[in-house]
Amino acid sequence: MKPARRGPSFRPGPSIHYHEPVTESSLHPWDRAAPERAGKPSAYALLPEDFAALAAPGRAEHLFAQCQHPWAWVDDRPRLSRVIRDWMARNLDSSLPEILEHKVSEDRSTKLVLGLSDGERIEAVHLPSEFRDPRLTLCLSSQVGCAMGCTFCATSAMGIKRNLTAGEIVGQVLVLLRAVGAERTHRITILFMGMGEPLHNLEHVHRAIRVFNHERGLNISTRRITVSTSGLANGIERLARLSPRPWLALSLNATTDEARDAVMPVNRAWNLARLRQALAAWPLGARERLTVEYVLMAGVNDTLEDADRLAEWMGTLRERHNLNLIRMNEHAASTFKEPDEGRLAAFADRLKARGCFVTVRKSRGRDVQGACGQLVRGDFRRG
């Protein structure tokens, strides 16, 4: 058989790993679709056109708005007529995640441990605005566990249990908004930075984004929805083509392939050069910025040479990015430690001197295990 011909524009650079065609033996954990939950469609994942297509009684837009405006609910449920409630009970799943634990941190962030109707548990966090109220930042989970195996992250110790449904993703927001007493006037920011890899569950994550973004629902602008990925380059490229398209954050966390291979196994499939290529193709909107997240781990990725390589890797992205430096949140499932303040400051200064726009992210909710990389099902938390 003749080998497949590649078009003239196919010019892989010598250091770019292309993801090989998938065969059973080459499957990575993230190449396999995560298990899905079966059941009726969730009332909270439907758009007005879906209610209309299902011939729901009443006006579809009104039904959608009632489901998505939790400040107007009565007894923790949308205010709907008996006819509609009966129809919903027959045709849809109207269950919401149940609050099992509600912890408020010293810094006022709120972590909810949520029970799903099949017994799984996830976590969702509210980070209050440091600067201006009324602003709510909600950090959502996208999967139960995670398949990516990053060695510094507590969630990875769980492995992957299943994808969250779009209804469960939207449900986190509705339940969080109720729990923090949100009102219609609050401006909401959504971060897919909780448990799981959102691009490994793109279908449900994107449906949830459509629901969040709908003008009759929470009407959250795509500028205020950020999807954070460990670097599934094919997922970044799929997301780039979707509409509505959220903003993107990339968890970089190392500056050589050797170091990144060691802490983020996904780098063995899509390495730094390939990732940089995926970011270069990301169609940045007018005021859009890419976020690059970098978890600093003492003795692993915190030298000034790392800072230089990071700036180098950013290249022209330096004009259109936010670089978030995050202190490693230490936990029992990993031996990595956070660097001392001096090292962190020197790292940040070096990047600033090289033209990067650096923010040292305050770690929020550490005392309630709500900080980055600390989200994990209770029975996996040790120490």
Q: Which of residues 161-220 bind ligand SF4 (CB under 6 A)?
A: 196-197
Minimum gap (Å) between residue 331 Cβ and ligand SAH: 6
d(Cα 292, Cα 283) in Å, to the nearest integer?
Answer: 16
What residues line the site for ligand SAH (CB under 6 A)? 152-153, 193, 197, 228-230, 251, 253, 293, 295, 326, 328-329, 372-373
Minimum gap (Å) between residue 86 Cβ and ligand SAH: 39
Q: Cβ closer to ligand SF4: 31 or 61?
A: 31
Residue 295 touches which of ligand SF4, ligand SAH, none (Cβ within 5-8 Å per kind): ligand SAH
> Alpha carbon of 95 to those of 109, 174, 209, 295, 361: distances in Å?
25, 12, 19, 36, 35
d(Cα 88, Cα 78) in Å, to the nearest integer?
Answer: 11
Q: Cβ closer to ligand SF4: 88 or 114?
A: 114
Q: Give the number of other Cβ atoms within 10 Å of residue 265's Cβ.
A: 19
Q: Give the number of other Cβ atoms within 10 Å of residue 72's Cβ.
A: 11
Catalytic residue status for 153:
no
d(Cα 206, Cα 170) in Å, to the nearest integer?
Answer: 11
Q: Cβ closer to ligand SF4: 29 or 58?
A: 29
Minimum gap (Å) between residue 40 Cβ and ligand SF4: 28
Interface with ligand SF4 includes 249 (CB under 6 A)? no
Catalytic residue status for 123:
yes
- Exposure on the CB side of residue 95, measured as CA atoms within 13 A: 14
d(Cα 215, Cα 199) in Å, to the nearest integer?
Answer: 24
Helices (H), the chain: 48-53, 60-68, 82-91, 166-179, 202-213, 233-240, 257-263, 272-280, 304-314, 341-353
Interface with ligand SF4 includes 233 (CB under 6 A)? no
Minimum gap (Å) between residue 294 Cβ and ligand SF4: 12
Going by their DSSP bridges, the two strands 121-128 and 110-115 should be labelled as antiparallel
The single residue among 109, 110, 137, 156 that binds ligand SF4, judged by CB under 6 A, is: 156
Residue 156 touches which of ligand SAH, ligand SF4, none (Cβ within 5-8 Å per kind): ligand SF4
Binding site for ligand SF4 (CB under 6 A): 146, 148, 150, 153, 155-156, 196-197, 230, 251
Query: Known catalytic residues?
Result: 123, 372
